[in-house]
Structure 1
Amino acid sequence: MIRVLVVDDEAMIRTGFRHILECVDDIDVVAAVSGGSAVRTARETRPDVVLLDIRMPDVDGLTVLAELRRLPDPPVVAMLTTFDMDEYVATALREGASGFLLKDTDPEQLPYSLRSLAEGGVVLSAKVTRTVVDGFLDTEPYGPATAGVARLTDRERAVLMLVADGLSNVGIAERMHLSAATVKDHVSAVLNKLEVGSRVQAALLAERAGLLREAAPPAEGR
């Protein structure tokens, strides 16, 4: 079971997400709370994934994100928003957000997104505009990090491209016929060489470096 905590200031939104997710056999909504109760509830319920409103009146969603990521066993956090907010994206990514979902995400797509997040995948809503992505890249010192792509082995480049496609470690392992443990090691090496702190940042960097426009490199790299 994937344990999910929903954090939003609007009761209607919380109820809607709970109703959608409780119809899914492998997802357990452990709680649905407002921002002020988020960190305490996360400590008590220990969710695998938190869906967190990026902007709330009672507490800043980015502050909650930072506190959640400092927990001893931090959950995966995806930010919820009703519209693209360029000024919040860079901070959320630096604080370790694993994805962005709009609140009007297709209910049928939501469980798939949560499964991907729980397995370590990257989730960026299709409606997160090019402006938001480009805005983040333009505000971050990614020149040296982009140069780090050249230090990746062929296999690490293949892993990075699959990370950018949103695949989890398990999904990458299946695609490349490797063990999940080996993929985890490759992902760690990629993040270290690119000098980034999360899979989402690595995915955006792959876009900046033009890797997503290349043909997929062979899995049998160095």
Structure 2
Amino acid sequence: MALDHVLPGRIGLGTAPLGNMFRAVSDEEVSATLDAAWDQGIRYYDSAPLYGAGLAEIRLGELLSHKPRDEFVLSSKVGRVILDEVESGGRDLGDKGDLFAHGRPNKILHDWTADATERSIEGSLERLGVDRLDIVWVHDIAQDFLQFSRAHPVSDAVIPGATKPSRISEDLAALREDIPVGFWRELREAGLVSPLAPLPGGA
């Protein structure tokens, strides 16, 4: 299914700030922001385990728990698993640095394998308090972000309608090694990647 058949409109709400991005954001500010977005007709919400080590998903889930599930589109991301273990020192987030220094202290495991993908989705479903995700994005697979010697500035991939972890069977780790242009083009033409996503190398 093409992405434009899933999204309810051109505008959505990204929830990275709800994970205490750059600063501690109060619950009152979070509530006011989410209520204002809903009242203004926003029906697409995007989050990620990275955002405050799950904090953004938890906060977003509290708002959406009071809304009919079929009235909004929800996406999150895979590529990182939030552990119960608490981080004892500084965490390595690459060029994201201390972006979420005010988030939860839980350890963040970087892992794009099929097993970790299932665990990531299960964790997101639990934190969000929902039974399905309408879209699952692959977070930060671009080699330039991961600081490989050969950088391919590609956009995140997307798996529409990934409602259950069991549907994710491919080892996503291969996607961040060296994505052939032809394969990426096929993903884009099949609607599995945004049509606006640039091909590796600008081809």
TM-score, normalised to structure 1, is 0.33
Higher RCO, 1 or 2 (CA under 8 Å, sep at least 6)?
2
Which structure shows the bigger proportion of residues in helix conformation?
Answer: 1
TM-score, normalised to structure 2, is 0.35
